Amino acid sequence: MAELKYESPQTTEAAVALLAAGGPTARVFAGGTDLMVQMHEEMIEPTLLVDIKRISETRQITFEDDYVRIGAAVTGAELGEHAELKAMWPGVVEAVELIGSYQVQGRATIGGNLCNASPAADSVPALIAAAARVVIAGPGGVRDIPVEDMPVGPGRTSLAAGEFVTSLLLPKRAERAGDAYLRFIPRTEMDIAVVGVGVSVTLNPDGTCATARMALGAVAPTARLVKAASDILVGNKLDHAVLEALAEAASDACSPIDDKRGTIVFRTKVAGVLACRAAAIAWQRAEKN
């Protein structure tokens, strides 16, 4: 039986050094709501936990010139209580707030949801739709990548040895912008997305779409950006024909599996349904801004 060590460094550099030295059985510990369950279920047996919550950058939400920086270890509850962020990116915040239960929200972090790399992670489609970027610290320094480049498969990320996520960057919003996230679960809460859809739009003064991004979760090995959505929406209003095309594009983008959470047929169909519903909400929010 290997011993388990716990460290809680106060600087990014110290965390990187610990993770690099710890090798493949070292794990980053933020909220722990996935990590602890995996340890209890004996799915993983880490030898080192590096708690990143004492590194100040990971725990802050700061408004900078062009973007909002959200620390990787900011919890769902903290995001939900941040009025300014919620007003700017309501879809991202509501996606994070869907994770787990009220109690779990006090621990679960936005960075953890991303790095756990579940294809069904609620925050990820919303973040991709928002064109968010991930800030990564590692032995080679700091780099940042688009969120969609982070997960590479179920449970796997593009992080290299010794790297960890310090924060996420959300672009600042202009006027007439809105986003939304919807998921389907067979219950009303305490469940994992069978399909998740994030949509972000900005509108022209005449009410037509200026920019649009849509991403799907739980319908492929990783959350994916539906590139066709932009072509369908930009320049148009959200009429019946556009919605039908959007639903079709969402369904076409699916390559799901049959598993305990849903069937291929169901996921493919519902992705289209939720795409239209999420787009309508994002649109409505954009019109009000």
Partner 1 sequence: MSNDQSTTNYRWVGKRTPRPDGVDKVTGRARYGDDMSVPGMLHCKILRSPHAHARIVSIDLSKAKALKGVKAVLTCAEIPDHPLSEPPYAPIINDMHDISRNVMAREKVLYDGHAVAAVAATSERIARAALKLIDVEYEVLPHVLDPLEAAQPGAPILNEDQFTFGDETEPKVPSNLFRSITGKRGDLEAGFAEADLIIEREFISEPVHQGYIEPLACIATTSEDGCVELWTTTQGHFVIRALCAKLLNMELAKIRVTASEIGGGFGGKNTIYGEPVAIRLSQMTGRPVRMVMTRTEVFRASGPTVGSRSKIKMGAKKDGTITAAEVDTWYQAGAFKGAPVGRAVETYFSSYKIANVRATCYDVCVNRPKVAAYRAPGAPMAAFAAEGAINELADRLGIDPIDFRLKNAVGEGDESLMGSKYGQIGLVEVLEKVKSHPHYAAPLGPNQGRGFALGYWMHGGGLSSVSAHLLDDGTVTVATGNPDIGGSRSSMRVMAAEELGIDIELIKPIVADTGSMGYSHLTAGSRTTFATGWAVVNAVREIIDKLRALAAKKWGISVDDVIWESGQAVPKKAGQDRIKPLSLKELAGMATKMGGAIAGHSEINAGGVGAAFSAQLVDVEVDPETGFVTPTRYTVVQDVGRAISPDYVEGQMQGGAVQGIGWALNEAYIYDAEGRLQNTGFLDYRMPVASDVPMIDTVLVEVPNPNHPYGVRGVGEPCLVPAPAAVANAVENAIGRTMSWLPLSPPKILQAIEELKLAAE
- The residues binding partner 1 (CB under 8 A) are 1, 40-42, 184, 186-192, 259-263, 265-266, 269-270, 273
The minimum distance between CB 259 and partner 1, in angstroms, equals: 8
Determine the 3-state secondary structure of 210 from DSSP: strand
Nearer to partner 1, 255 or 263 (CB): 263
The closest alpha carbon to 153, from 194, 112, 195, 118, belongs to 118
Backbone angles phi, psi at 246, to 5 degrees: -65, -45
Nearer to partner 1, 174 or 190 (CB): 190
Nearer to partner 1, 19 or 120 (CB): 120
**CB distance 234 to 158 below 8 Å:** no
The minimum distance between CB 122 and partner 1, in angstroms, equals: 14
Q: At what angle do helices 264-288 and 90-97 cross, to 10 degrees?
A: 140
**CB distance 44 to 27 below 8 Å:** yes
The encoded tokens of residue 243 equal: 């919605």
The minimum distance between CB 260 and partner 1, in angstroms, equals: 4
Give the Cα separation of 109 and 115 in Å (integer): 10
The minimum distance between CB 186 and partner 1, in angstroms, equals: 5
The minimum distance between CB 271 and partner 1, in angstroms, equals: 11
Nearer to partner 1, 44 or 190 (CB): 190
The answer for residues whose C-beta is within 8 angstroms of residue 43's C-beta and 6 or more apart is none
**CB distance 91 to 112 below 8 Å:** no
Nearer to partner 1, 57 or 248 (CB): 248
The closest alpha carbon to 140, from 157, 159, 156, 168, belongs to 159
Nearer to partner 1, 160 or 190 (CB): 190
The minimum distance between CB 189 and partner 1, in angstroms, equals: 6
